Structure 1
């Protein structure tokens, strides 16, 4: 497709998909159908509620379906996929052209967790690709890409926000200019597997910088007094403090190299709070150690 498409189907589910849907409408593209995930319970005991994309689509008076096959029943030029979260049948891809917005510089970090994996790896740059949807995840050719710097203190949330902003601009400019022919992905293929809870457990024998990266992707945890203890905000320092890895000295924890200064924490069944506030109420003994099982 070389001409700029005007009537689109939008396929997405979570909150990060919403800005793309809004931007397309604001940029003059007509969305003839929105496909999104099924309504589901968002919390314990709650009634099923719509996905963020469905909620906003209804507010915008756009037609919504949960069946991706329905795109064939509407006159559209192209389907735009942003974090749909479900499999799209290969047979449908053969009949309806689809493009996808992916948050990495492909082929590095194919898969569901490219932002978190880039931060964990200590990458200095990430980016956004507008790509064709292929018969396997994230293997299609790339129509356009935009690099985004990863800043030293970036978290999953701050980096995601900048990638969304860059991605919205890239998507619209790519559509405005006409898709043209995609470029095959070249370079080392690296997979961004989903982060599982076990990976978020802090190993205090690692250097402080690596632990800090884990904290910055969100949900990093250790144990304290036999209970799970989350660290939401911290800062790596080069200061070497006496004590075994995991030992708390003041507001810093000894690691394999350097130390980690704690800023915001959360003890089990408690709300997040400043480390100093937690420490005041914790009645700590000397030589406290995190990661005690």
Structure 2
């Protein structure tokens, strides 16, 4: 990811070699593991892997490494958490995949970089392109190999592949598909030669990182929109003052809503348009369960409201 502030006019950044061999890999989450493995398996010399710092996953847990760090150690690759270590390894290209930090111009002047970005640019530049495409109801998404510039995902595109978003696609499913497709695209693009990046065309949109408010279910919205939130993952409402995650659902847009938004009748909640069938839920502090099993214990009354008194 690069700086979102548009830079002032300056000298062009150096172009990457057509056929790089010695790489620096910059990535952090699970989505960045498969591309690293693909480059290593294809015979590229990965001189250094730069990833996020070890983090605690719980209050009392010991700091644990990022998924990319674990994979790099398994592959016997040198690992760093510091971008300042990049120039010293003598690489001819940097490969960025969901690294999660700003890469400044001074480093780009030393080492040209490409980025594997999980959208069809210029739509959904930024941190959460898969989730934002799903929330927006896009019919297609994709993955690009692009040049890294100073602006936020503004570089030209070397290659891209698109992918249909099905009506039941989840963010996790799309992420896995795009990671697989993108890993092959990255290796194939480097093997074929980078050539000239094609400037992006069209109106850009931006994919800000999601927060709890983005995953809250406002029952006055249509059922199909609420189902998209559920398919992103982490969707939540409240029931009797406690959070209730909705893990899996099915929209019934043609159903007449049987009352006020959020009103619960059996396993269906009224929405602003249609009803949303709740299939799997997770009560606060408890394990995930089928809605029917939850309802047997919670015993919601007919017409009881979900989301009453919510503070997102």
Same fold (TM over 0.5): yes
Partner of 1:275: 291
User: What secondary structure does 1:223 align onto?
Assistant: strand
Partner of 2:116: 101
CA distance in 2, matches of 1:86, 1:50: 16
Query: How large is the Cα RMSD of the aligned pairs?
Result: 1.1
For residues 1-293 of structure 1, what are the structure 2 equivalents within 5 Å? 1=16, 3-237=18-252, 238-293=254-309
Number of corresponding residues: 293
Consecutive unaligned residues of structure 1, counting only runs of 5 or more, are none
Report how far residue 7 of structure 1 moved: 1.3
Q: CA deviation at 1:2?
A: 5.2
- CA distance 1:2–1:37, shift in 2 (3 Å): closer
Q: State the distance in 1 between where 2:114 and 2:248 align.
A: 36
CA distance in 2, matches of 1:286, 1:127: 43
| Separation of aligned partners in 2, 1:241 and 1:165 | 40
CA contact (8 A) 2:17 2:93 kept: no
Distance of 1:52 and 1:2 partners within structure 2: 29
1:195-223, Cα deviation, whole Å (9 max, x unpaired): 12112111111111011111110111111
Partner of 2:13: none
- Partners in 2 of 1:264 and 1:289 — Cα distance? 18
Q: Secondary structure, in 3 states, of the residue corresponding to 1:94? A: helix
Partner Cα distance (1:286, 1:153) in 2: 28
List 4+ stretches of structure 1 deviating above 6 A: none
1:244 CA drift (Å) = 1.2
Show the counterpart of 2:6.
none
Does the CA-based 8 Å contact 2:34-2:183 persist in structure 1?
A: yes
Q: Deviations over 1:106-157 (max 9, x none)?
A: 0000010111110011111000010111112211111111111111101110
TM-score by length of structure 2 reads: 0.92
TM-score calculated relative to the size of structure 1: 0.97
The separation in 2 between residues aligned to 1:8 and 1:226, in whole angstroms, is 52
Q: Which runs of 5+ in 2 are unaligned?
A: 1-15
CA distance in 2, matches of 1:241, 1:81: 47
CA distance in 1, matches of 2:151, 2:84: 18
Partner SS state of residue 205, structure 1: coil
| Counterpart-to-counterpart distance in 2, 1:11 and 1:2 | 18
Could you tell me how far 1:257 is from its partner in structure 2?
Answer: 0.9
Contact 2:257/2:273, CA 8 A, preserved across alignment: no
Measured in 2, the distance between the counterparts of 1:110 and 1:2 equals: 25
Greater mean deviation of Cα atoms: 239-248 or 55-64 = 239-248
Report deviation, 1:86.
1.2
Deviation at 1:242, TM superposition (A): 1.9
